[in-house]
A and B are shown apart, each in its own frame.
Chain A
Amino acid sequence: MAAMGLSSGAMAQEKVNLGVSIPAATHSFTAGVVWWSNQAKAELEKAHPNLKVTVKTSSGAPEQANQLQDLLTVNRINALVIMPFESASLTQPVAQLKKKGVYVTVVDRGLTDTSAQDAYVSGDNTAFGRLAAEYLVKKLNGKGDIVALRGIATTLDNERMDAFNAVIKKHPDIKLLDARYGNWNRDDAFKVMQDYLTRFKHIDAVWAADDDMAFGVLKAIEQAKRTDIKEVFGGAGAKGMVKTIIDGSNPLIQADVSYSPKFIYDAIKLTAEARLKGEKLPETTIIPSVLITKENAKDFYFPDSPF
């Protein structure tokens, strides 16, 4: 404890050299993460001359582990903001950095051993599923048939699905017909939705659970010329979807739930500013997921971001 106090006291005068380790832009969400990280670097370095931010992207867990070592030995960072690829395989590499005195903030995907981190910042996956279910229940007046599309089989996806199911279970007249993996991918979502439309002659609403998947779902509905579906609920608040809500240009899209890649920006800002003052972050910070409707959509519209 004494050592901790000393090092953070010394940090107050010293420079903060902050490393950011994130997944490479392979789909629009991670592209958003990269964009917001660079945004944070530009703004924060300008505001604080004592701060240096290094952003590194990697395309897999092993590569990310290697980069962590480079960040320490080459870039000599003393603070780290990391969005880990996988929880289990990166816990040890992150713990090594923390042992060497680097202040660690973990974003989004938690580590398997929380003692390897100083702070945790994440989006709210439970609210992501819960808000979607609550909205759809209300929209359907507590009665109707829903189909769902899931992302990729991960704990994060399970959290969302469990939260969604928990709400649906309380409403016996709402039936979840099926939930299948669309892999957060437009093409796969298109196919899954086509097959749902063949299989179920009546569907009231679709929980697409992601804006990219909602895009594929809408195309499949359009092609099949089905008119029974009243609502398609995506997720994450991609700019195209938010724009659709603002413009009211598609009657099927009325609401969305925020899960913005901007949380990386918040995490970098919070960490950098706390470390510059020699302070620590709270153990856990949850960036709330909010229901986006026509009324508040403007606050969630970032036209310059790729997401």
Chain B
Amino acid sequence: MVSSIPKDSQSVSELKEFYRQMVLIRKFEEAAAKAYSVGKIGGFLHLYIGQEAVGVGSIAALTPKDYIVSTYRDHGHALARGLNPKPLMAELFGKGTGISKGNGGSMHFFDRNAHFMGGHGIVGGHISLAAGIAFASKFKKEDSVTICFFGEGAANIGSFHEGLNLAAIWKLPVVFICENNHYAMGTPEYRALAVKDVSVRAYAYDMARDHIEGDEVRKVRDHVQVAVERARRGEGPTLIEVSTYRFRGHSMSDPAKYRTKEELEAYKKKDPLMRARQELELGGIKTEELDKMDLEIQNQIDEAYQFAETSPEPPLSQLHKYVYAEDK
């Protein structure tokens, strides 16, 4: 099953870093799920568990000047961008120390400095925002590239078509990454998509396309890299479909009864974390070393949890702040 054993020390350490990020996301979200179930986190909580290789691989193809636009399922993307888990967890807890000062919540992580351009709650609405950020890069003659994540459900909304068409006619430096986890909430793809393969829609916009499996993190990185470089050369956008799976329900309130145990078990066998771990072991990393790493990450998450729990809520005076930009 394991096809890609890291061959040299560089690719081993690269994979180790990807593994670390994926474990960080997994453990962050497991902690978030726990906090949610005891009422410390409100609202929706859409977990990314199972899809980690997509975010980590894709974002690894970027440089700090590039931009990321995410959905309501944004924890993994934010952590893969290297954002500190403390303000992220604090945001989930609705604390003033949160990455969006408690105004955003799970669906709206933002970090201007990290070019993390937000988690957005309206399905597909952010696709044209991403095109807009790419438009600005082109306008300003900066060679930044924007990547935009969305689900296959979002590929059915008008904003997707408008965003892709505009990006294509103007050759904007943007990479559209459809994380196809095969369900939009409870709707399986075959009930929502006339043509199941989202990536072929690229032909409708004369756009480059790609379609890969999302369980192998370095493969995701390599494929996204090609698209990012294409965009950076000014050759326009790419639509990439990455096939993946979410192990949990659509959000914490969804028991996911619309799919079978067998299906879930089959996908769990392709868990990207497990896969990376096996590859690392084949590349010569000892199990104990990986266990130690897992433990360190767990400690980091515990600290983030502690930080979130002990942080103060935002001051009540914040209620009316930020409705309008402060005058400079």
Same complex: no
Residues on B facing A (Cβ under 8 Å):
none
